[in-house]
Amino acid sequence: MLTPWNALLRRAQERGYALGAFNTYNLEITQAILRAAEAKHAPVLIATGSGALKYAGSEALASIALGHARAATTSVAVHLDHCTSIEEIVACLRLGYTGVMVDGSALPFGENVDLTRRAVQAARAYGASIEAELGAIVGDEDRARTHETNAAMTDPAQAEEFVRATGVDALAVAVGNVHGFYRGEPRLDFDRLREIRALVDVPLVLHGASGLPPETIKQAIVLGVCKFNVNTEIRVALFDSLRAQLLESGDYDLPKVFGTAVTAMQRVIEEKIEVFAHGQILAP
């Protein structure tokens, strides 16, 4: 069923597990996300970024995501990822999105607070949940490039002030996480995460979960992360499957080729859901 994610994340926070927000661009990725969620009886977030909406068309992609969410047997939020425009946020809320991430992280602190406040106000009018970002997470959502983990990290004292001033439901932090591929072994700043957790009571979000080892994810959950964003690994599964099938069989049977790719993506998403569950029984 279609639902806002705030209550889902709060429940995850109380019980010590995390939810996955999986980025979609099309029908097949959306199918893989929903099949994995239902197989694992897990709540999930289907995330669409501005780039995906531009690629597929806002209404077309929204109707695919919302249609799947409404028909699902588990709780599913449809979420706008990394948005810098209030107009786009309102347009998605009007289409029926139940969550939004406003991303003012490139702005000076005060301007990020102002933009986030306006987004919170818009989301509240639609009963939707809202996430914001403080600190700069390296990399771009849509292009899976390799990055060093040298971003401007989230300042714990600023995080406390930011959450109080904006009233957001969840905060995305930069603690050494990157979008795309990690260069070498990912190293998260767990001390910083612990400090943020001590000062901020809303669920924390970690973008760039692709490529993080399960032990790192588990440690982050213990330190208060309740939502992980996954994009790159799903696309790698999609493209690897398509490439292998075309090279091996040269088969142009679309339902068969894409169906096999959906199964490959589903497997990756199920593995992530399993790690995010952190040994807990999820409430679907």
- Min dist CB 208 to Zn ion, Å, is 7
Rounded CA-CA distance 202/160 in Å is 10
Residue placing its CB nearer to Zn ion in the complex, 74 or 232: 232
Residue placing its CB nearer to Zn ion in the complex, 166 or 229: 229
Stretch that binds Zn ion, among 58-66, 143-151, 207-215, 273-281 (CB under 5 A): 207-215
With H, G, I as helix, E, B as strand and everything else as coil, classify residue 248.
Answer: helix
C-beta separation of 210 from 238 below 8 A: no
Residue placing its CB nearer to Zn ion in the complex, 207 or 278: 207
Residue placing its CB nearer to Zn ion in the complex, 208 or 241: 208
CA distances 255 to 26, 65, 130, Å, are 14, 19, 36
Half-sphere exposure of 72 (CA within 13 A, CB side): 33
Residue placing its CB nearer to Zn ion in the complex, 75 or 105: 105
- Min dist CB 207 to Zn ion, Å, is 3
Any catalytic annotation for residue 251? Answer: no
Question: Which residue has the CB atom at the shortest distance from Zn ion?
Answer: 207
Does the protein bind Zn ion through residue 79 (CB under 5 A)? Answer: no
Query: How wide is the angle at C-alpha 189 spanned by C-alphas 187 and 191, nearest 5°?
Result: 145
Rounded CA-CA distance 148/208 in Å is 12
Name residues contacting Zn ion, limited to 212-231 (CB under 5 A). Answer: 229
Choosing from 81, 103, 155, 169, which is the catalytic residue? 81
Please count the residues of this chain forming the interface with Zn ion, following the rule CB under 5 A: 2
Tell which residue, 93, 7, 92, 81, has the closest CA to residue 43.
7
Position of tokens 């992280």? Answer: 105
- Min dist CB 47 to Zn ion, Å, is 8
Rounded CA-CA distance 210/204 in Å is 17
Q: How many residues can be counted in the chain?
A: 284
Name residues contacting Zn ion, limited to 229-248 (CB under 5 A). Answer: 229
Phi, psi of 174 (to 5 degrees): -110, 110
Residue from the set 207, 227, 272, 278 that interacts with Zn ion by CB under 5 A: 207
- Min dist CB 231 to Zn ion, Å, is 7
- Min dist CB 137 to Zn ion, Å, is 6
Residues that bind Zn ion (CB under 5 A): 207, 229
Catalytic sites, residue numbers:
81
